[in-house]
Structure formats: C-alpha cells, structure tokens
Chains A and B, each alone.
Chain A
C-alpha cells in the first residue's frame, strides 16, 4: 500500500483522534517526524509544552497555538529580556490566548517586570508555579497578582515573599483555590489571616515550615471550602490552634500536621471532631505517644484511607483499634515508630485488607511473620518500604513474590537478610517499577539477573554500595530492564569500564549515580555519554580516574545534561570549560576539589555557563580568588552559590 492511499483514508480529525491516544512523549516524537501532515496534527492538537532549550522557545511558541499548558521550568536563560522579546510582536501572541497553566519553577532569572508582562499577556491564566524561585519577593508576588483569574499558585521557597506580597496576591487573585506557601519563611500570621479573609474559595493550602502560630489556624478555620491543609513543620502551632479547626472547614479531606512539635495527642481529637469526611491524616513526627484513648476518635473517620504516624511510640493495641475502625485504610506510615511488633502488624492487616502502601522503615523488630501476614492479607499491595528491617529474609520475599503481584515499589535498603534467593522470589512481582537494594551486600550478579529477567518494567534501581554487583550483573540488567531511567551504582566497586559500556545501552536512562567507582576511566564515561542520550543527571564524585577525555565526550554527547557532580574528578581546565560551555542545558554543577583546575580555568568555565547556570557548588577558597565581576554576573542571573 502506498503512503498516499493511507493518508487519503485518514482525514485530519481521525488523525487527531489517533494522536490523542498516544501515550508517551517519545511516541509523539515519532509521530511528529512521520510527515508534514502528522506534524501539523501535532501542532494543532498539542495542549502542553515543556521547553527544554531557549533557542527554540520562540519558534515553538509561534507554531503551537493551542497550548493551554506551558512549562519553562527547565528552560535556562528565561529572563525579563527574553519575555519582553517574546511578547514584543502582537502577531506572535497567539500562544498566550488559551494558556491556562504556566510553570516557571526555578526560573530564577525572571524578575517582576518579566513576570508582569507575561501574566498580563495571558488573560486566561489559571495555574502558576513559581516554586523554588528563591530570589522572588514582594515585587514578584505583586506581578503574580496581575493574573486575576488565578486558581492555583505554587510559590514554595520564594524566600523573599513577605506578608505584603501575599496580601497583594490575596487581594489580586480572589479566586485562588490552591495555594502553596511552603518555605516562604517571611510570611506570618498576619498574611495568612488576610489571605483567609480575601480568598474564601481556597480548597487547598500549604503553609508548611512557616513561622505561624495558632492564630493562623483561627483564620484558616474560617475557610468554608478548605479540603487540603498542609502545615508540616510549623513549630509554633499548638493544640489550641487545632481546636480552632474543630467543627470548622466541613469539607476537610486531607490534613498534614507532621513535624509540628508542640502538638499532643489531644490535637488528634480536635482534627477528628467535625471532619467525618477526612481521608488523609499525616501526624508524623509530632506525637510522641499515642494513647489508645485518643485513637478512639478514629472511629468517626469512616472514610480515612491514609494515616501516617511516623516516629510515634505505638503499642499493639493501637493497631487493633486502627484495624477495627479504619476498614478502608489504603496507606499507613509507620516509619521509625517505636514499638511496632509482628503482633501489631498482624492485628493491623487482619482488618485493613485494602492496604496498598505500607511504610515500615526502621521498624527493626519486624520479622518474616509480619511481612508474610501482610502479603497474604493485602494482596493489593503496591508499595512496601522495609528499609533497615534486618530480620526480613527470603521467606518474606517469597510471600510477596507469590501474593502481591501488583507490587510496584519495594524498598529493601539495608536489609541484610536479602540475598540472591530472595531476589529470585521477589522477581515474581513482575510489575515492579522501583527497586531499592542499597547496602544489601549479600546480593550478587546472580540475584540481579533474576530481577532483570522478570521485572522488565523497572525504571528505578538503587544498588548503592552493593559491593557484590559486577559487570555481569549490569550486562544482565541492561539486557532485561530497557526502561531503566534512574540507576544508582555508587560505590559498587566491582563495576569497571565494561559494565559502563552495558549501561550505555540504556537509552532511557536519565539519572545515573556512580560515585566512588574507582575503576571507571574516561572510556567508561565515554560509553555512557555516547549511549545514554537522555542523561540529565550525573554524579561522578570521586570517580578519580576519569580525566579530560571522558568529559570531552560528555560535553560532546550529553546535550541534555541538567545536573552534574564532578567533584574530586581528574578533570583539568580544558575539560571543565568544555563541559560547562557546551552543555547548554546544564543548570546545576558541583565542582569542588578539582585539583587539576586552575583559578583561570574556573573563571573561564563559569563565564561560559553564566547565562544558564542556576546553582553552583564551589570551593570556598574560590570565593576570594574569582573575579567579583564573574560572581556578580552569575548572581544577577539568579545563580545560587553554595560554598564548600
């Protein structure tokens, strides 16, 4: 059949229908390069765009006119000038018409004037993310307040935003429904109070790590539509504050009071009172003890599906209460709880059979008996965290591998009881996506091969300090787990350049940690760089044999590199300048203890990357030696330094 006849059958709207069924980015990429018709379908149907390179920003925005979501978070060199250039011609402004969602996370180069231009140009903007723009302050908040129709705003870690900035947003964006103020350390009760008076539609509010007192909760309690309240790590909030919430905010579904040190167990009762619809409760690291009397309040929370009481001192009776009251529990977090026993877990799983996510991190007295009971009762288990549960052995994994076939994530870090046999059993969970085996020194290439053979969907694998792993294991791994995106091989000293060449076959790999691989040379790095085109994060700390030629290859191939740690490597001036100058997406570099690099080399390298770098870790000695001009330029571009 000729291609012409195929296209004559498929009309454009049929093509659009097919296009919308495409799942992944890579599929869409393939679609785009089929032919011009297909490309045109992509251009008109595409609703969201994440721009990786500034160079293409303008032409992409010009072509994609029906965008409703634009993500500039990983696009370096977004700054006020770029924005004003983008918006300078009215005929280029088509893309702003429908835009409702704008992600500017970590766009530290952007200032208030650019923001204001942008927001004024996008009349239908509903969601904005400026999280981790650490330099943002009240002026930027003021610019954000120009987006009148805003419903969702994330401004985590906008460190300079004070009550004044928040007030501007509260007044300007009265329709706000979701707001995250996490780590906006300057915001106080006053700002929150005003927010709660002005934005009555708020459904979700995150005030984690703010210096708020209970007074803020009095204000928050007046929000009639509040569904989600996160106030993790508010050290000044006490039980009185939570009492304000009693019988208020009737729609509350999710509350996070973790790490609020002043809370006692009676605050749990306050939370339970009047909130029958509560779905999630996170009270981790805020309650020292959990008296059974208090837990009886859980009776009223029939719908509760998530409870996290990390770090609490518990007893078996608590699990009895939970299992008899919270039948619909889906997730339980018991990380670092003191007093979790096999009996307790058995009690729990006897009632809560729907559990999907169980976190037993550091519950060291747990044995196979508990895990077996869990696996048998909760066959829907999706995620299980057993870090540091030393007593877990292959018996547990056997039960999991035979009962919990839907298991997607398991954390076995530091479980010395796990060995090759255990991995063999575990490989029965063929849906596994994330497997963490860090510090499991008893596993070898053989065990890894079982996993690689059966669990082909794995995208994340942690083999940190698995000293038993060698090149053969990696050969098996790369053969089976083609979809691996994240791999940690740090301190697996058995791995050599040969293993690295296998790694080079992982096309999807984007995040590779290979700290302290003392046997790896530039040859191995070259193989990885040439093979893993999507590599965005690379940690080469203490790979002391890698020299300029390896970094040369990296600079040549790894054009998607976003974050690199090359501390203690044998790189010299040339290699560093190549890496910093050529990797045009590089945003974060850790460059300490580069003994072969001179000050001049640093100076050149930093100048080469100054337009796009956002975060630098340097030896503190350099602070005095580097020219102030370079440092100031970097700082003005929104680059953050951490001095070692």
Chain B
C-alpha cells in the first residue's frame, strides 16, 4: 500500500498543484478553456464533474461519513486514525458502515445518459457542419476530434467511478484505474482535477487528519467554485475587447435580435400590464405589485441562477445589419457578447446620431452614454495636432506626432491670432472632402470640425477595432454622403484613418507655422461622391 501511495503521489504531484490552483483561484481556468478551446461542452463537463465528484467522495466517506456538502463530522475525526492504519481497516470499515445508495446510482446514471445524449448532439452538429465549412478543414476536424475524445473520456471516467462505488472492496483499484484513464485523457483537465480531488482526500487521510476535513470540503466545493469562476470569467469577457475571444463557430449559440428589438427603449415587459422596463430586476420588482405569487423568493431571484445546473450553451449575438462584420453571415463574423454590446454596436454603427453635445454643438452621438462621456471632457481636449486632431492628453498627442511624419503640435488657439470662432463642422467637413488638393488656410476657416473630432475617433477605434478596419464595412455600410465609414462611438463622420490613406495631398497652412504636406482621404471620399 505504501508503495502504491508513493507512486500515486508521484504521478499526481502535478495534479495536486492543479488542485491547489483551483482552490486558490482563477489562473488555472484560462488554461482549462484554452486547452479545450470548446465552451460548449465545458458546461456539461463542469456539471458532470460536480456530480461525478460526489461518488468518489462518498466512497471515501464511507469511511468518514462525510457528505461533501456537509461540514466535517466530528465522529469521522475519531475514526480517521483508524483508517490511517492501513487498507484492511479502511475496507473493513467501509463494508461495515455503508451499503451502496441506489438513488445516487440512479442519479449518476441519468447524468451519464444525459451526457451521452449531448455528445450525440454534438457529433450530429459536426456532421451537419462538415458540409458547409470549407475553410481550414484540417484544423477544425482536429478540434472536433479533440472535443469528442475529451467528452468520451469524461464519460468513461465517470462510468468507472460509478461502478467503483458499487464495489467497495475494489475501491482502490478503481481509483487507480480512473487515474490511468484520467492520464489517458491527457488534456482533459477537469477529469484529472476531479480525480485528484478524490485522491488528495485519501492521501491526506493517510498523512494529516486535521487537514482532511478541509480537503473534503474543498473537493466538494470544486464544482461550485468552478461554476463561480466560469461566471466571473464570462463577465470579464464582456468588458474585454472582442478580439480576445476566439470561439470556433458552433461552440456557441448565435442569437440575433431584430432591429426593433434592439432599438426598443425597454426590453422587459410586464405580461400583465404591459409596462416596459430596462432591467429584468426592475420588472421583477414591479411584478410584486401584481400579486403575492410574485413575492416569493423564487420569483424574485435571478432566474438563470437555477439554470446553472442545466447545461448552458454559450450565447453570442449577431447584429441584424446585413454586411456588418458583426452579422452572422459575414465571412469574418465576430459575435457580440451581450445584448448591451449589440445595442451599443447597432446604435453607434448603424444609426443616426441624435444626441448633440450641448457644449461644442459639434459632436453627435447615438448612444447617450457616449455623449455623457464626451461632455465630461468636452472643451478639455486642448492638445491639438497640426492635422486637426485633438487629444485630451499631452502624451497621446506626442505619441501621435512621433508616429506621423510632418505632424506637429499646433499652438493653442487662444495664442493664435488667426483662428477665431467655433469651427463650423459641417462646412469644414464638406470643404475637405469635396475640394481636394487645394491649399487650405486654417486660419480662415479654423481647424475644420471633422478633423478636430479625429482624436476621439482614434480612441473609439480601440473600442471597436473590428468594425474600424473591416474592409467590408467600407464597401457596404454606405449611408450616402460622407457616412461611408463605419462609425465607432464618438465618431462623427470621417475616420481619422481616412486622412492617412495615400491619396491626393494638399498643402495646409497652419497660422504661425509653415506649410506642410498632408495626405488626405480625398480619394476615398471621392469614391463615395461618384
């Protein structure tokens, strides 16, 4: 036995670390995700992991009489030293104390069934997709294969552990078997973790009694913890830029809201009185007024909390605007993560800008939050480049100047004699787009509005980079006039990048300075004009 323990310890030393990782927090999870790179099965596996963890624990608890969910029973502590004495004692105890629980078994089996069904569905899906997808078939196939192997492994592991619970005398063998399978699974971390949890339990039982209870709890909690981390991870994703996510198609469910739905001010409507709400929580609070049945904790609780025990298919959203990169039919479709993302994206990119800044009367926004953000800084963007771009921060301006040849900081307007009055946006815009390669005198017209906006455009580009660089947007998102460029938040009509497209060059004169040559986006705008 000792010998066996040693080998186990050895073989799982890494696994133990993993367990610790999990117990301490997130870091292991990205690994988990990336290795599998599939989120579809992730949920089931987590689930199954949770359920699966019970049997082995229970197994053990056949000596210790501890439920994973329950705190450690003091009686166990008394008994544990006995267990320490050796295998014989352990097996003796177990056989003495506990018979197998048919309900648990049934539970396990039904889960296994469910899981097999899911796997079946997945394979169906893959078979269905194979006809459609032409791109990177090898890569995809490999991914799919990995996916299925992993799922199968987990099923096998669970099956064995379930069987092991039936035969207490074979328990240790079972465990060693599962280990082997777990290792076989290789990449399939959850199963390994799971096993380690079980194993660790035993290991600790041999060495430290006081720790054992903790370990049991811990192992029992892993499932929950994991789900917790999952949630956290997801919520983080919302804030992140999309490019971080690289979900393979099919690993998530695509939802597409209709335009009306997106633009509707309220998304949650009371089924009784029809009152609309922006937030579901508010709706639920409202519902209380319709009767006592809506006052129960269950009715007031967040509905999807319960569904966490159900398999969740990752949800991603598609923009209803045809041709948009965020539309599911786009070649390089990049899904949006939340409904809020959809709403903001749609308004910013495909809608008129109806909110005008009351300070500068120049900037327009389609999302009111953007307006508010802008108004906070409006008038403070004192860092002006000779190209007309403004920056709220000096270092940003200097970064810009370092990047572009010939650009130089403009001396602030109040110092410059020639410049006067607020810039008239519209005119400036038009003159720049229409009258190409003509000498502009900034002092006469003041830095034209569109150029002044560009700083913010650059900023905005970071928020929504995909739409910015999307060539397709260039082609199709034509709103007529000068609105051909995709419009990220803050942006007005022309993206700053348009100025750097090699096109016709014009000479601009900035008052109090020299002539310099600047590339303008004249060419691209002219395309639009024709």
Contacts and interface: CB of A to CB of B under 8 A. Distances in A.
Interface of A: 112, 116, 138-139, 142-143, 145-146, 148, 163-164, 167-168, 171-172, 190-191, 193-194, 197-198
A142 B401 contact: no
B514 interface: yes
A116 B415 CA distance: 16
Interface stretch (B141-149, B197-205, B349-357, B404-412): B404-412
A194 B406 contact: no
A194 B398 contact: yes
B106 interface: no
A172 B410 CA distance: 12
Contacts of A142: 411, 512-513
Contact of B401 (A138, A145, A146, A171): A171
B406 A171 contact: yes
A190 B394 CA distance: 8
Contacts of B513: 142, 145-146, 168
B402 interface: yes
Interface of B: 394-395, 398, 401-402, 406-409, 411-412, 415, 512-514
B516 to A, nearest CB: 9
Given A194-B398, A194-B401, A194-B402, A138 B514 contact: no
A168 B409 contact: yes
A373 B455 CA distance: 69
A145 B510 CA distance: 13
A171 B415 contact: no
Contacts of B408: 145, 167-168, 171-172
Contacts of B401: 167, 171, 194
B402 A116 contact: no
A194 B513 CA distance: 19
Contacts of A145: 408, 513-514
Interface centre among A142, A143, A145, A198 (most CB of B within 10 A): A142
A198 B408 CA distance: 11
Contacts of B415: 138-139
Nearest to B514: A146
A112 B512 contact: yes
Contacts of A194: 398, 401-402
A138 B416 CA distance: 11
Contacts of A198: 402
B411 A139 contact: yes
Given A116-B512, A145-B513, A197-B402, 11 more contacts: A146-B513, A163-B394, A164-B409, A167-B401, A167-B408, A168-B409, A168-B411, A171-B407, A194-B401, A194-B402, A198-B402
10 contacts: A112-B512, A139-B512, A143-B512, A146-B514, A163-B398, A164-B412, A168-B409, A168-B513, A171-B406, A198-B402
Nearest to B515: A146
Contacts of A138: 411, 415
Contacts of B398: 163, 167, 190-191, 193-194
A172 B415 CA distance: 19
A148 B394 CA distance: 25
Contacts of B512: 112, 116, 139, 142-143
Nearest to B408: A171
Contacts, number: 48
A213 to B, nearest CB: 13
A143 B415 CA distance: 13
Nearest to A189: B395
Contact of A164 (B395, B406, B411, B514): B411
Contacts of B407: 171
A198 B513 CA distance: 18
A597 B455 CA distance: 60
A156 B408 CA distance: 22
Which 10 residue pairs spanning A and B have beta carbons closest together? A171-B408, A164-B409, A197-B402, A167-B409, A190-B398, A168-B408, A194-B398, A146-B514, A138-B411, A194-B402
Contacts of A143: 512
A179 to B, nearest CB: 16
A257 to B, nearest CB: 26
A190 B409 contact: no
A191 B399 CA distance: 10
Nearest to B407: A171
Given A190-B398, A194-B401, A172 B514 contact: yes
A279 B110 CA distance: 85
A286 to B, nearest CB: 29
Nearest to B510: A142
Nearest to A141: B411
Contacts of A116: 512
Nearest to A112: B512
A146 B514 CA distance: 6
A172 B402 CA distance: 13
A97 B294 CA distance: 91
A198 B407 CA distance: 11
A163 B402 CA distance: 13
A139 B511 CA distance: 11
A190 B411 contact: no
A167 B395 CA distance: 12
A116 B411 CA distance: 15
Nearest to A191: B398
A538 to B, nearest CB: 40
A396 to B, nearest CB: 56
A417 to B, nearest CB: 58
A255 to B, nearest CB: 25
A171 B516 CA distance: 11
A124 B407 CA distance: 23
A146 to B, nearest CB: 5
A351 B408 CA distance: 53
A143 B511 CA distance: 11
A163 B398 CA distance: 9
Contacts of B514: 145-146, 148, 172
B286 to A, nearest CB: 53
Contacts of A163: 394, 398, 409
Contacts of B409: 163-164, 167-168
A143 B406 CA distance: 16
Contacts of B406: 171
A269 B472 CA distance: 57
B399 to A, nearest CB: 9
Contacts of A164: 409, 411-412
Interface centre among B398, B412, B513 (most CB of A within 10 A): B398
A464 B415 CA distance: 49
Nearest to A164: B409
A172 B411 CA distance: 14
A520 B408 CA distance: 60
Nearest to B402: A197
B508 to A, nearest CB: 14
A193 B513 CA distance: 22
A293 B273 CA distance: 87
B273 to A, nearest CB: 59
Interface centre among B401, B411, B412, B514 (most CB of A within 10 A): B514
A165 B407 CA distance: 13
Nearest to A190: B398
Nearest to B403: A197
Contacts of A193: 398, 402
Contacts of B395: 190
A191 B409 CA distance: 11
Contacts of A168: 408-409, 411, 513
B22 to A, nearest CB: 39
A383 B407 CA distance: 49
Contacts of A197: 402
A175 to B, nearest CB: 14
Nearest to A188: B394
A197 B402 CA distance: 7
A425 B227 CA distance: 96
A138 B406 CA distance: 17
Nearest to A198: B402
Contacts of A167: 398, 401, 408-409
A151 to B, nearest CB: 17
A101 B182 CA distance: 81
